[in-house]
Amino acid sequence: MNPSIAQLLENNRNWASKRETHEPGIFEKQAKGQSPEFLWIGCADSRIPPNTITGLEPGELFVHRNVANLVVSDDPNLLSVLHYSVLALKVKHVILCGHYGCGGIQHAINGQPFGVVDEWVQPVRELINDNSETLTPLPSEAQFERLCALNVLRQVENLRQTASIQQAWGAGQSLEIHAWIYQLESGQIKVLQDPIAGP
Ligand code: CO
C-alpha cells in the first residue's frame, strides 16, 4: 500500500532523529557546506534512487535527473548543475547512468502524442535515425535495450563536449566521465565503456 503524505513527514522526523543519534552533530556539520566527489546524471524514474543504489550518504552525491537522462546542449538546468559541480565543487567523477526499460526511450520509439514530453525526447528520435541500420534488423525488445545503451553513450559524448568539462580538463583538473546502465531486473549497474579522463 502506498504511504500517506503524513507518513512521509513522520518518516522524515524519524530519519533525522536516528541520524543525529547515530552521528551527533551531523546536520550542523552538513549545514556548513558540501564537497561531493561525484555528479550523477540519471533518469527521473522512481525505481532508480541514486544514493540508495550506490550506497552513498547525503553530501556524497550531487544529482541531476530528467526524463531519459539526456544531456541537451541548451538545457540551462543541466548545464548549471554541471558547471557548478565541476568547476566550483570540483567533483572528480561525472556518472551518466541510464537504465534498460526506460519509459522516455520507449516514448521516443512509439509513444502516443504526450505534450511537452514529445519535444523533450526528440534527441532520442534523432539517435534512432542515426542508428537505424544497426537497430532495424533487431527484434523490438532488443532494439529497445540497444537504444537505452546507445542513449547513454550519446549523452556521454554530449557531456564530453560541454564547455564546463572542456574547461576543467583544460585547467588540468582530474575528472572522469562514466557510462553506466542500470538493470531494473537485477538492481545492478553495468559499466558500458571505460571512463573518459580527458579531451
Ligand atoms: Co527512464
Per domain, the residue ranges of the chain are: 18-196
Candidates 64, 97, 99, 107; catalytic one:
99
Q: Does 154 qualify as catalytic in the annotation?
A: no
Instruction: State in Å: Cα 169 to ligand 1 middle.
Output: 29
* 18-196: CATH number: 3.40.1050.10
What is residue 87's DSSP assignment? I
What is residue 162's DSSP assignment? S
Please name the residues in contact with 81: beta carbons below 8 A apart, sequence gap of 6 or more: 39, 62, 64
Give how far Cα 184 sits from Cα of 84, 157, 181, 190, 194, Å. 30, 24, 10, 11, 22
User: Which pTM does this prediction carry?
Assistant: 0.96
Digits of tens for pLDDT over the chain (199 positions)?
789 999 999 999 999 999 999 999 999 999 999 999 999 999 999 999 999 999 999 999 999 999 999 999 999 999 999 999 999 999 999 999 999 999 999 999 998 999 999 999 999 999 999 999 999 999 999 999 999 999 999 999 999 999 999 999 999 999 999 999 999 999 999 999 999 999 8
Cα–chain-centroid distance for residue 74? 17
Q: Does 148 qualify as catalytic in the annotation?
A: no
